[in-house]
A = this chain, B = another copy of it.
Amino acid sequence: MNKTGYEELALDMLREHSDTIDFYLNKKYCDEKTGGRACEKLYRAEKYSLMAGGKRIRPALVLEVCRIFGGETEAALPFAAAVEMIHTYSLIHDDLPCMDNDDMRRGKPASHVAFGEDYALLAGDGLLTDAFYECAMNPFVSGDCAALAAGILSKAAGSYGMVKGQAMDMYGEDNRISLEELVELYAGKTGALICVAAQLGAFAAGVPADDEKMKDVTAFAQRIGLVFQIIDDILDVTSTAEELGKNPGKDRENHKTTFMSFYDIPKAMDFARSNTCEAVKIMEKYSGSEKLCALAEYLCNRKK
């Protein structure tokens, strides 16, 4: 596919799903939260980060995979919301002074800059916890499906997934880690949530956990998750704050081990491209997967 082709397809798909997700998050999550003056700031902080104009890649993945496998959007939406809420919590906590100490996010002041560290901590805790309500109480799937969905989501986000990746990342700031460890780190830090997003999309479409389709979306998502992180590493050394919407150069500043510690930019791009090719090959056999495959290409070539 030529460059304009996939870019247009992917952006089209992201725009369409973003609108659906934003509407759902606003209506079902933010607007239903009413409370007295004493909890108003918490709810404002949660909404501030959740509706800060994220690209909605993870929830779009939930909706698009569900669509490809013949499911209904309404069944996928609670899962999509849960994934985006967990993604948002992770950004809020990552930006905190005791972690990456980043004062910009998505081109706006980070949560702790806008609301103070205490509210940023709580808003993150709230979004993370509420995500499991969305997931477990999904009214459009069976109890078995909702329970399993909450189970794989917590596994992906918790001490075997994203939180573990974050801990390994911290270890990598002070210690030289191997390429093998880095791949494990990225599988947790970024890969796990992208992977579970694709799996939840399949669940919402009624695909059983041991089905071939589930294996395929998992293998697809593992690859685009890895590519996503490689591109992040490249952009951190090549971009400006304006392009990125957050401060670049933080990795070197924090002495973090990244892909750039092992590869130069052309080699890293090669690695990203070959993983993208593999991902596309896995999913292109499914009819209607053009936009999903275009997303893979788009993520590999993104500039922010």
- Of chain B, the residue at the smallest CB distance from A42 is B167
Known contacts A133-B155, A136-B151, A142-B143; A164 and B118 CB within 8 A of each other:
no
A128 CA to B132 CA, complexed, in Å = 11
Chain B nearest Cβ from A99, distance in angstroms = 6
Complex: chain B residue closest to A90, CB-CB = B125
Stretch in contact with the other chain, from A177-185, A201-209, A223-231, A269-277: A177-185
Q: Are B150 and A150 in contact (CB under 8 A)?
A: yes
B41, B136, B162, B185: the one contacting A147 at CB < 8 Å is B136
Copies of this protein in the complex: 2
A62 at the interface (CB under 8 A from B): no
Q: Please tell me the size bucket of the interface on A.
A: 35 or more
Closest beta carbon of chain B to A43's beta carbon, Å = 7
Q: Mark A110-129, 1 if CB is under 8 A from B, else 0.
A: 00000011110110111111
Are the C-beta atoms of A121 and B96 separated by less than 8 Å? yes
Q: Is A25 engaged at the interface, CB distance under 8 Å to the other chain?
A: no
Q: Which of A3-11, A65-73, A168-176 contacts B (4 or more CB under 8 A)?
A: A168-176
Complex contact A98–B125 (CB within 8 A):
no
CB distance from A162 to the nearest CB of B (A): 8
Quick one: given A38-B172, A121-B99, are A154 and B167 in contact (CB under 8 Å)? no
**Is there a chain B Cβ closer than 8 Å to A255's Cβ?**
no
Interface residues of A in 86-114 (CB under 8 A from B): 93, 96, 98-99
Cβ-defined contact, A163 with B119, below 8 A: no
A49 at the interface (CB under 8 A from B): no
Given contact pairs A98-B117, A147-B146, A148-B136, A177 touches B129 in the complex (Cβ within 8 A): no
Residues from chain B with a CB closer than 8 A to the CB of A98 are: 116-118, 121
Known: A41-B171, A159-B130, A167-B38. A150 touches B136 (CB 8 A): yes
Q: How far is the CB of A209 from chain B (nearest CB, A)?
A: 12
Does A46 sit within 8 A of B, measured CB to CB? yes
How far is A144 from B7 in the complex, measured between Cα atoms in Å?
42
In the assembled complex, the CB of A254 is this many whole angstroms from the nearest CB of chain B, namely: 11
On whether the beta carbons of A118 and B163 are closer than 8 Å, the reply is no
Most chain B CB atoms below 10 A, which of A121, A137, A167, A170:
A167
Given contacts A98-B121, A145-B143, A150-B150, whether A126 and B171 have CB atoms under 8 Å apart is: no
Interface residue from B119, B127, B181 paired with A38 (Cβ < 8 Å): B181
Q: Which of A35, A46, A147 has the most CB of B within 10 A?
A: A147
A163 B129 Cβ-Cβ under 8 A:
yes
Chain A residues in the interface with B (C-beta under 8 A): 33, 35-39, 41-43, 46, 93, 96, 98-99, 116-119, 121-122, 124-133, 135-137, 142-148, 150-151, 153-155, 157-160, 162-164, 166-168, 170-172, 175, 177, 181, 184-185
Can you give 6 A-B contacts (C-beta < 8 A)?
A: A38-B175, A39-B167, A42-B159, A129-B157, A143-B145, A144-B147
